[in-house]
Amino acid sequence: MGDTLVSVNVGMPRDVSWRGRTVHTGIWKSPVAGPVMARTLNLDGDGQGDLAGHGGEQRAVFVYQLDSYRYWQEHLQRADFTHGMFGENFTVEGLADSEVCVGDRYRIGSAEFEVTQPRTTCYRVGIRLGVPEMPALLVRHRRPGFYFRVLTQGRVRAGDAIERTYQDPHRLSVADIDALLAVNIRSVVLASQAAIPHLGEGGRIISIGSCLGERVPFPGVTVYSMTKSALLSFTRGLARELGPQGITVNLVQPGSTDTDMNPSNGEQSDLQRAMTALGHYGRPEDIAAAVAFLASPAARQITGTTLTVDGGANA
């Protein structure tokens, strides 16, 4: 069997009780027997509960693979999975995350779709599966699935063949992007979420980003810079959320720093050194000093900001 649309799944948001509070979520999806219209923002009959994290033109359709279903059935020792349980709109045979690339286009039924990004996992999939740690498992085991945007509206139904109509020449796979997101964004988010319940007045959350989050001085680092840039918004948003609790949230952005990964005598060191105002590499101690300051009582009034330690590379 070639790449195939095995199931089309839709569902409208509902309120569910979870850990003593009510969560509005569209994670519950059920298979549809007949044809379904794929439109710019949604499939007919489908909706999202949290529009900040799901849905919209760039995330109109979530795709998950049968191969991942088989993987989780074995890993979790479960035999009760049904199509749509991971919140996906399309359950597919084929289209592995390691082979599908952002920018690839596919025709299914009379509609055409374009791959936009890996799925960003949230806690609601853990509610749906009854496995609270499921978001972390999806990240750790690199089984994200991905989103389509709808290029040409049309009808789709279970059993439709999936035909690739365009292959993006840059060949950046869903799995590659997900790996960057996992290290540079999700790890920070998950670590912060784990720390928050243990912090009180005077607590500090300090993340390490990169000066490339604000400026891209040369080609080849666009996706890396994108992931570091996301930490800026995360820092500012979380600072607003935690401010009433007296917890500060800040971001340290190193520039070229003498480490094993980027030594001061490496192949590109002269170029990187020339880009700085001070004309030299930073040291790990410089970054540690910035973190120590933000963690100190002297920084009690500093939150939601960045401290760039790059020798003036972004000056």
Span 128-155, average pLDDT: 92
For residue 55, name the pLDDT band (cuts at 50, 70, 90).
confident
Please provide the DSSP assignment of 163-196 as one string. Answer: EEEE--TT--BHHHHHHHHIIIIIHHHHHHHHHG
Instruction: Encode burial over 157-171: b for 16+ CB neighbours within 10 A, e otherwise.
Output: ebebebeeeeeeeee
Q: Report which of residues 83 and 53 the model is more confident about.
A: 83
Q: Are 112 and 40 in contact (CB under 8 A)?
A: no
pLDDT-derived band at 220 (thresholds 50, 70, 90) equals: low
In CATH, what number does 4-176 get? 2.40.33.20
Q: What is the rounded CA–CA span in Å between residue 75 and residue 82? A: 16
CATH number of 199-309: 3.40.50.720
Q: How far is CA 139 from CA 62, 69, 101, 145, 200, in A?
A: 16, 15, 18, 11, 28
Rounded-to-10 torsion of CA 272, 274, 280, 284: -20
Query: Rounded to two decimals, what is the model's pTM?
Result: 0.72
In this prediction, residues 52-56 reach a mean pLDDT of 76
Q: In this predicted model, what pLDDT tens digit does every residue of 293-305 receive, in sequence order?
A: 999 999 999 999 9
The residue-averaged pLDDT of 248-255 equals 95
Q: How many residues does the chain have?
A: 315
Whole-number average pLDDT of the chain: 91
Banded pLDDT at 7 (limits 50, 70, 90): very high
Task: Report the pLDDT averaged over residues 165-187.
Answer: 86
For residue 218, with 0-12 CB atoms within 10 Å meaning exposed, 13-18 middle and 19 or more buried, which class applies? exposed
Region 38-57 average pLDDT: 87
Residue 259 CB burial class (10 angstroms; 0-12, 13-18, ≥19): middle
Tens of pLDDT, residue by residue over 259-273, are 998 898 988 889 889
Residues 6+ positions from 149 with CB-CB distance below 8 Å: 57, 58, 59, 60, 61, 113, 114, 116
Question: Which range has highest mean pLDDT (49-63, 95-109, 224-238)?
Answer: 95-109
What are the boundaries of each domain within the chain? 4-176, 199-309
Q: What residues are labeled active site?
A: 224
More confident residue, 181 or 234: 234
